[in-house]
Amino acid sequence: MTSQLPMTSQLLRGLLDDASLFPPASLAMPAAVAAHQRHLLAWYSSLCGPFVCADTRLAELRTALTAGNHAAIDLSLVVTGGADAVPTALDAVASDPRLRLRGVEVPVARDGDVAEAVAAVVKALDGAPLAAAAGYVEIPLRAIADPATAGQLLAMVDSHGYRPKLRTGGVTAESFPDEATLASCLTAVIDRRTPFKCTAGLHHAVRHTAADTGFEHHGFLNVLIAVAASSHGASTEEVHDLLAERDAATVAARIAGLDDEAIADSRYLFISFGTCSTDEPVADLVALGLLNRS
């Protein structure tokens, strides 16, 4: 039976970066690699992006590839040690041709001056052999949400051809930005036409309160419709309201109503998001009637 994606295929293609090694899934390396290979062979494989792995776990990844007899893997590398650790981390990737580098994600130092920390990461990426891999700089959302600092920081990143990485969740309630903060961040990056990715917390399609933790989660489809609206002139307040929308039918209808131009524009800006479960976003999309196998 042939599987087909509906008109939203362009909107969803490559949206899901496989971050199953990270909390809350925290899969063991062999299980994570095996699951990633399963996703790449599944009917929804066009939604799947690279495998996200921390530099500290590259030895485990190489062992899992050997044990599973996997020829290669598309990799987005998280450099946990920040700017200073970039050269060593990329040397480790370059030493194994099975690791096909697609992205490098580097957090800025959390203490000290944010602008200096961003400049340090940009300098490290400038000196790195990225080839065609994308460079992502994880900047604290408070700095992007603040109009006094957003322009300078985003200019430092995108003028060198890199992209901001927006953290939308984590393992504590405080890790999840509220609608106002995320709306300000999205407005800032979209006003500059700066492509970006998100990471953490976008476990489901629509905004919700997690039953097990009580954490307030943004929905990845809420982010998509917010990006589309902001790109077409919506105010920060309107973006806020789209991020806050909890009615699944309303969100799905907004997605289904996007035309080809809006879809292309949205995905130019919103590159992907790291998800610890590929199965959950796929299941949500199917349940909403936005993805089908037929």
Reported pTM: 0.95
Does some domain include residue 217? yes
Does some domain include residue 126? yes
For residue 167, give the CATH number of its domain. 3.20.20.70
The mean pLDDT of the chain is: 95
Eight-class DSSP state of 42:
S
Kindly give the pairing relationship between strand 208-209 and strand 134-138.
Answer: unpaired
Does some domain include residue 294? no
Does some domain include residue 4? no
Provide the residue range defining the domain that includes 80.
9-287
Does some domain include residue 1? no
Tens of pLDDT, residue by residue over 228-248, are: 999 999 999 999 999 999 999
Q: Please state, in angstroms and rounded to a whole number, the distance separating the CA atoms of residues 49 and 102.
A: 9
Tens of pLDDT, residue by residue over 17-62, are: 999 999 999 999 999 999 999 999 999 999 999 999 999 999 999 9
Instruction: Using alpha carbons, list the distances in angstroms from residue 294 to 1, 40, 52, 90, 191.
Output: 7, 18, 30, 42, 39
Tens of pLDDT, residue by residue over 60-90, are: 999 999 999 999 999 999 999 999 999 999 9
Lookup: tokens for 234:
């919506």
What is the number of alpha carbons within 13 Å of residue 191 lying toward its C-beta?
17
Does some domain include residue 254? yes
**What is the total count of domains within the chain?**
1
Does some domain include residue 33? yes
Say whether pLDDT at 257 is over 60: yes
Does some domain include residue 293? no
